[in-house]
Amino acid sequence: MNTAFFVAADWLAEHIDDPEIQILDARMAPPGQEHRDMAGEYRAGHIPGALFFDIEALSDRASPLPHMMPRPEAFAVAMRELGVRQDKHLVIYDEGNLFSAPRAWWMLRTFGAEKVSILAGGLAGWQRDEWLLREGEEAHEGGEFEAKFMPQAVVRLTDVLLASHEKTAQIVDARPAARFNAQADEPRPGLRRGHIPGALNVPWTELVYEGELKTTDELNEVFFSHGVSFDRPIIASCGSGVTAAVVVLALATLDVPDVTLYDGAWSEWGARTDLPVEPA
């Protein structure tokens, strides 16, 4: 039985005590709101039983780039310490904007977890349906997690440079149009304006409605309206690798093959003065 990409709040409330379900709180502060204490917000109120999946803390701390994937063994150790069991059905939620839950979904899937879903509507939807929250930390036993890294899910700068130059794949940039078109500064300092030459812009917010993906027909229309072909390889990118995962998730729900994620994203490309950008 295939695991659903999304589960509803009433379904989760009904199954919240199911021993085969494990809930992960993947709330994350968007760029420009780094002052927020997300661990503190988790302790102030979370879905009962949820463990805090801290994307920042779980990223590669040795990399100068934000949110980079950690080494498989480091991720596995962190998951076991957190209490995550990869044999369970993992249900992830974020604030309700579908900003960060897809990144957590993608990380877990790329490291070998097979049963991973996202809570439709996130925490906001849970509260809107008047389900209760719990304060403090959650007691948990040690987890069981063996990372089975899928390297084919991730591409590096050299792969993207080749795709840009040789047109071997479509580069789909999930940033807002103003940033893509060099009409607005990046929220992170030290980055140039613009985009990777040849990239297509599909702002991630166009794929989302009230904390979940739009309908299949609507998603198809969004991608097609921006010139994306499902018959050619796709590399998803964004500012730092987070909202690119929204693109990956949307394409997965459409059964689009050959989709990868550029983990360095514009944080890497835009910081390099030796790489081409558009508009020039």
pTM: 0.97
107, 160, 238, 251: which one is catalytic?
Answer: 238
Residue 226 confidence (pLDDT): 99
238 is a catalytic site residue: yes
Q: Distance between CA 157 and CA 234 in Å, rounded? A: 14
Rounding to the nearest 10 degrees, give the CA dihedral for residues 159, 248, 110, 90.
Answer: 170
Span 245-252, mean pLDDT? 99
- Which pLDDT tens digit goes with each residue over 104-159? 999 999 999 999 999 999 999 999 999 999 999 999 888 999 999 999 999 999 99
Cα 36-141-37 angle, rounded to 5 deg: 5
The residue extents of the domains of the chain are 6-149, 152-269
Q: Distance between CA 198 and CA 143 in Å, rounded? A: 44
Sign of the C-alpha dihedral computed for residues 267, 179, 35 and 90 taken in this order: negative
Residue 32 confidence (pLDDT): 82
- Which pLDDT tens digit goes with each residue over 62-91? 999 999 999 999 999 999 999 999 999 999
Q: Does domain 6-149 have CATH number 3.40.50.10860?
A: no
Angle between helices 244-253 and 216-225 (to 10 degrees): 120
Annotation: CATH topology of 152-269? Oxidized Rhodanese; domain 1 (3.40.250)
Q: Has residue 1 got a pLDDT over 60?
A: no
